Amino acid sequence: MQRRQFVRSVVAGGSALWLPRGVQALSSRRASFLIPMDEGQTDHLKAYGVVFRALERGDRSEWLLNFRGGSFLVPAAEGIQRDATLSGVTLESASDTAVAELRGSLQNGNMDAVPLEKAPKMAVYTPPNTAPWDDAVTMALEYSGIRYDRVWDPEVIGNRFATYDWLHLHHEDFTGQFLKFVLNYSGSPWLQSMMELNRTTANQLGFKDVPAAKRAVAQRIAAFVDRGGFLFAMCTATETLDLALASADVDIAAAYADGTPMDANASSRMQWDAALAFQGAVLEQSPSLAVFSDIDGHQVNGVARQPLGAFTLFNFSAKIDPVATMLVQNHRQVIPDFYGLTTSFQRERLKPDVIVLADEPGAPWAKYIHGSHGKGTWTFYGGHDPEDAQHAIGDAPTDLALYPHSPGYRLILNNVLFPAAKKKELKT
């Protein structure tokens, strides 16, 4: 379903404030549970896992937008209570009277309730070998207890990931330049292993080189979104995915491989109609800088690296734009920024229909953006690890048990639950 159709379907029934079947069935016998997502929650991140597993069991739930940090209303099922207790997640009993009063309060002000109907089938794009860095999304999924499958180039090229609803990309380079790590890590065994695996896989899949294989992978991923998939990407995957999609007539990796400057006219030959989020970017011409283009506002490895500040979540209308509202639910509106090889997105490089979800006030870049492509949607979140602003290769992974209230990680998990609200199209 296209994003605008989804918005219409939610808004059309918005004033009725949909009541889950489980709550209807239980309303005469027992209370519902409220999972608070404000300061009253003992573990914000694991709360998402409790809701996700409830959906897997068939317990339809509600996301209470802009109510107590984006709380959840769930049936008073024993399985939910047991799961929350084992996970250390706060539940509050809500009587039928309290639920009725809650629904009345949601009618007023910028709040609404959105049904969560079915847990999405999750996939994370990641190579089979272990890289010397962590992935914030897989850590968030594992900490919260949300199951996912791993897919990589063979599965994507073979369209064996078409059964998934949600796909995550993180620290990848879809331009085939191996993140330009050879500039600083040329003798590292892990880099040699990465390059060999990619080259062997590209050959096995019938491509002439890694850039050609990665461009084809990017095109398959865009097709996944076009068919109705939900894409969530962070760090370099955001920028390099679009560069690969737009580079049909440009061999971006050639200058890097040859050690010579890029053709000065290469940027003008990019085909931005094929890209998801960006347009008009200028490619980095120097093969000696670990920079891809001018899309990233912070240029962490460039000559004009920008300092970190803090980004602010936008306030959207819950009743008119529930999609954007779901994606920014949080108990904090201002969040400390964090670096990645791609940290932010220059506003002048965004396509006109891109929705900015968060930015640094006064800065020329956005941090968190969203948009539609065909029947599906994509969301890009700049940076590498929300709780490790300066994370470097080889650093120990973040222990999320130390950050159960992380507002930066909550944005990741908003994207995990967002597809559960997808409406099924009626057959006519």
At 372-401, the pLDDT tens digits run 999 999 999 999 999 999 877 778 889 999
CA–CA separation, 295 and 297 (whole Å):
6
Q: Which residues of 26-36 are buried (b: 16+ CB within 10 A; e: fewer)?
A: bbeeebbbbbb
- CATH fold, domain 122-421, is Rossmann fold (3.40.50)
CA–CA separation, 23 and 94 (whole Å):
11
User: Looking at residues 226-234, what average pLDDT do you find?
Assistant: 97
User: Looking at residues 144-158, what average pLDDT do you find?
Assistant: 96
Amino acid at 311: F
CATH of domain 3-116: 3.30.70.790
Contact partners, residue 162, CB within 8 Å, separation at least 6: 224, 227
CA–CA separation, 282 and 209 (whole Å):
24
pLDDT, position 187: 80
Average pLDDT, the chain: 89
Residue 25 has pLDDT above 80, yes or no: no
DSSP 118: S
Residue 329 has pLDDT above 60, yes or no: yes
DSSP 266: T
Tokens representing 181 are 């790590």
Residue 288 — pLDDT band, cuts 50, 70, 90? confident
CB 205 within 8 A of CB 157: yes
Residue 30 — pLDDT band, cuts 50, 70, 90? low
CB 262 within 8 A of CB 229: no
Q: Rg of the chain over CA atoms, in angstroms?
A: 22
Residue 18 has pLDDT above 80, yes or no: no
CA–CA separation, 114 and 229 (whole Å):
20
Contact partners, residue 256, CB within 8 Å, separation at least 6: 177, 180, 287
Three-state secondary structure call for residue 94: strand
Residue 260 has pLDDT above 90, yes or no: no
Lowest-confidence region among 40-44, 80-84, 129-133, 322-326 = 129-133
Residue 133: Cβ within 10 Å count: 17
Residue 284 — pLDDT band, cuts 50, 70, 90? confident
Residue 74 — pLDDT band, cuts 50, 70, 90? very high
Maximum mean pLDDT: which of 12-21, 88-97, 327-336: 327-336
Q: In the chain, where are the structural domains located?
A: 3-116, 122-421
pLDDT, position 253: 86
User: Looking at residues 275-292, what average pLDDT do you find?
Assistant: 91
pLDDT, position 133: 65
